[in-house]
Structure 1
Amino acid sequence: MNIFRLIVSEFIGMFVDDEFLAVSILAVVAACGLVVWSFHAGSLAVALLLVIGIAGVLMSSVVKGAAK
């Protein structure tokens, strides 16, 4: 039971450890949803927006983590 608890806590820690990363990714996904809903954008445009947004969030997270 102790091993199971450790595995679960590590799994949850992957998502809760970096709040900036989690909130930023949610913001990018929400922005893409807003673009689809507001402008009826095509799937290619939304995919490109997602890739660029997530890549930007990951790069800023890496830079922020390297500065610590």
Structure 2
Amino acid sequence: MGNLRAILGELVGLFVDDGSLALALLVWCAIVGAGVVVAPGLSPAGGGLALLLGCVVILLANVGWAARARATKR
């Protein structure tokens, strides 16, 4: 049972290494999804572009925070 728990923990760790990044991406996906539902006139390309740009901004912000935190540890 302990081995199974360790395997599952490693599997989850592959996808959710940084909890704040995962949470921010999930929230952004929900916001864009709700925006597409509320504004049906929005083209699929517009929703896709908003999703892409938001994810890139979130990723860059997370990398910046991680680099800053690592630099202050030294």
TM-score by length of 1: 0.81
Tell me by how many angstroms 1:16 deviates: 3.6
Structure 2: runs of 5+ lacking an equivalent: 70-74
Residue 13 of structure 2 is matched in structure 1 by 13
Percent of aligned pairs with the same amino acid: 33
Instruction: Give the Å deviation of 1:37.
Output: 0.9
Query: Aligned residue pairs: how many?
Result: 67
- 1:6: how far off? 4.3
SS at match of 1:11: helix
The alignment partner of 1:17 has SS state of coil
Matching residue of 1:64:
65
* TM-score, structure 2 as length reference: 0.75
Q: What do you get for the CA RMSD once the two structures are aligned?
A: 1.8
Give the structure 2 partner of residue 43 of structure 1. 44
The aligned residue for residue 56 of structure 2 is: 55
Residue 45 of structure 1 aligns to a residue whose secondary structure is helix
Distance in 2, Cα, partners of 1:49 & 1:11: 29
Unaligned runs of 5+ in 1: none
